[in-house]
Structure formats: structure tokens, C-alpha cells
Structure 1
Amino acid sequence: GDPVDGLETIGQGNDPLTKVIGQGAQAAIELSYEHFPKATEKTLDLITKVGTQVGNGLDVTVKYIDDKTGNVASAKWNKLGKATQDQIRGGGRILSVIVPAGTAGKIVKGIKEAKALRKLDKLIANGKNNSADWANSQFPEKYGPPYTPGTKVTDFVSDGKTKFVRVVSNKSPQKGQWIMRQSDIKGLTPQQIADKFALENVPTGITSIKPPKGVKIRTGKVNENFDRPGGGTQFQLLDEIKGWSNVTPF
């Protein structure tokens, strides 16, 4: 199952990690596998799952017994290949997990973000699929096909809980039909965002919106346009909505 399902106790105040956070500790936290095996395992699950999916830059150092030398070794967990991770965990050679200073709070935040993305994935999975070619045909001929031909689009209905973002430039309005997940642009420069989403202009600011429950949304792969490659996952509001936040400059 989804590793995030097993992380309910972290962030709820019942585990060693959250207790230390609650005490306001800013120093690194070391979870001993001997004393807190479940918390240690869950932390590694979270770093692997959330750190990749949400892109928070979460990382921890794991101390373990090196199978080749028999000595204690340490490494950044996300820098290890999956085969090595599985070998270390499967052999029960983990000694402890060290969460860097300032990262513990990100972990709890990361859980919430991962759960939100998981809910969105479920909404999309239960949506209605159609061809991108059909979706493109709904636009005027002079409008460059927004979805990659030969792929599919999915229509779903908002649950009223998912927040999206919209990037804008001095030449584009605050409100509009094209939005994206914030996680899909995290860590990207404005130029990279423009390329990934095939924008006519390089964005200069960002706004956000939480579509109310029942709003129809379409999602699919961004087609190349404006001499930009595209390839990102875009969301199209099929209903006009209100509630946009103020634009924040990059």
C-alpha cells in the first residue's frame, strides 16, 4: 500500500519525532532503531515517498552496518539506490536515522502535502478519460493545441479541498483557466516553468486558487507551443470560479 498510509502517528504528537518538534528543538534528531524501530522505519518511508513526490528537499542520514566491512557507515538515505536501501533495511542493519536540524518540521508538513496529492490522484483516477485530440478540437483553430496529440485527458470534479497555483506575467491576467500543482513547479526558475508548461511569456508572479466542490476540471500533458517543449501536467478549469489570491512576485 501507500507508505503515507502508515505515517498517521507522525505529526499527531504520539511519536518521538513530533514530541521533539513540540518541544521546540532546533537541533538534529537521532532516532535509534533499537529503541524506536517503528518511528525509524516510518521516517525512512516518508523521506522516500514524500521527499520525491512533494520535492521538499527532505533528507536524512542513516547509520548502518556495512555488509562488506562490518563497520558502522553513514550515508544520505535518498542518495542511496533503491536496491541498496532494500538491502540495508531487509538485513536489519540500520542503527539509527538522523534528521537534520530544521528538517523535522518539514517532515510533518510533507505528510500533509503528500496526503493532499494522494487525494488528487484518486479524484483523477476516478475521472472520465477522453482523447487529447478531441480536447484540442474544442479550441478555435488559431489556438495552438494545448494538449499533446495522441495522449489522453481526464475530466474530474473538484472535492473543494485541493489548492492549485497559476503563474502569470505582466501580459497575462490573474484569473484564467490554466492552473497547475504547486509541487510541479517547485524548485524551477521562471524560465523553466515557461518551458515545462509552454507559456507564451516567462512568468513574473504566482497566484493560487482552491476550486470549490463540484467544479469541473480537465487535466493532461502540455503540448509544445511558443517554441517551448511543454511536457508538464496542466489542469484546465472548465467552470469560471472566484477566490483567487493576490499575485505574489517571484
Structure 2
Amino acid sequence: MLAELNPYGSVTGAFLLAFPALFSIVNPLGAALIFSQVMAGREGAERAILARRVGLYSLLVLLVSLWGGAYVLNFFGISLGALRVAGGLVVAIRAWSLLMAPEEHESRKEQQAAPASDADDVAFFPLTMPFTTGPGSIAVAVTLGSARPASGAGLFSFFAGVSAAAAVTALCVWLAYHWSEALIRLLGRGGTRVVMRMAAFLLLCIGVQILSTGAQDMLVAALHAAGPRAPH
């Protein structure tokens, strides 16, 4: 099972689960290229302030999704197994699109960020949502939150690990946006796409793993429900 392959109850295991997925779906490097283009008409100091604010807002969006998303869905009677199956499908499909058609992803991001070029208060909308942490990122974060241990001491370690992963991802967003012009010179669009495809493959593996764990959970529950019953 997934818990056997990855010690999610430990801080390190939870971090190693969450960080590749969050980094892949947020894609700070690729987003930094578009951020630089959209912010080309603004002063350097203003771009630095926006980069810091977007990093902070992105952290808040990811933490709320990681901590509360799965609990909200469970409140509506959605089982943990079903949540993992659906979330794993979302993550895998998203990763596949990133892996096979990064150009379409970039085009969509450019359209999302376009209003930021001629507005003043743009740190949260559209630069944080939906440009940096849009519906795809929120779906991935909710899915990761569903991988939490059912209870016990491992629950705290799990949330500490995924929270650290969200913080590191948000830090990468801030640094990538802040140094976006330097990244363009260093990587270029082609180099960024190579990094995107590598990260997307990791995200695809994580989605499939979460999906398989959810399927196992549902199968075990079905076998227990159909098991022999004690005679009256």
C-alpha cells in the first residue's frame, strides 16, 4: 500500500510526498517567465513587492487547501478512498497534460495573468489566483491532504511535513518571480520546458500512486462489507 512505500506518518515522508507534487503543479520556473513578461512595464521595486506578496498569498492558499479541503469533502459524506481515487485521477490527468502539451499550459497561464499588466492591486487576483495557485493547484493540495493518516501521532507529523512542502513551494514562487529576468537569461523557454516535463512526470507518478491507494482502500472496504456475517 501507499503507506508502506512512503512513511506518510513522518515529517520527511510527508514532505517528500507533497513537495514534488506542489512544485510540479505550481511550476514556479515556468510561471516566472510569464510573470516577467507581464510585469515588464513596472519598476523593479514594484515587481519585488508583488513577488513577495504572491509568495505569501500562495502559501495561504496551499495551506488552507492542504489542511481543510479533505475534511470539508469528508463532511459531505465522501469516503477517504473515493476522495483519493478522484484526487489521484485529477493529479494524473493534470500531470499528463503538463507532460505532453506544456505550450498549451503556458498559453493558458498568459491569459490568466494578462489583467495584471494594467491594474494596480494584482497580487492576489490574478497573480496568485488563478495564475499561480489556480484550481489545479488547489485540487492537488486537497488530494495530498487526503493522504493523511487516519489518526494518531502520525497525523501531526503528516501536516507538519506537507506544510513545510507548501512553505518551500511558496518560497520558490517568491524567489523565481523576484529573479524572473535572471531565470530567463539562465534557462530560457526551452530549458524551462525540460524542467517542467521532468516535474510533470514526478507528478504523474504521485497521482497514480494516490489513485492506487484509494482503489485499495475501496476494495478493502467492499471485502469487509461482503464478508461472512455471524449467524443470528
TM-score, normalised with respect to structure 2:
0.23
**Higher relative contact order, chain-length normalized (CA < 8 Å, sep 6+):** 2
Structure number with higher strand proportion: 1
- Structure 1 or 2, whichever has the larger Rg, is 1
Structure number with higher helix proportion: 2
TM-score, normalised with respect to structure 1:
0.22
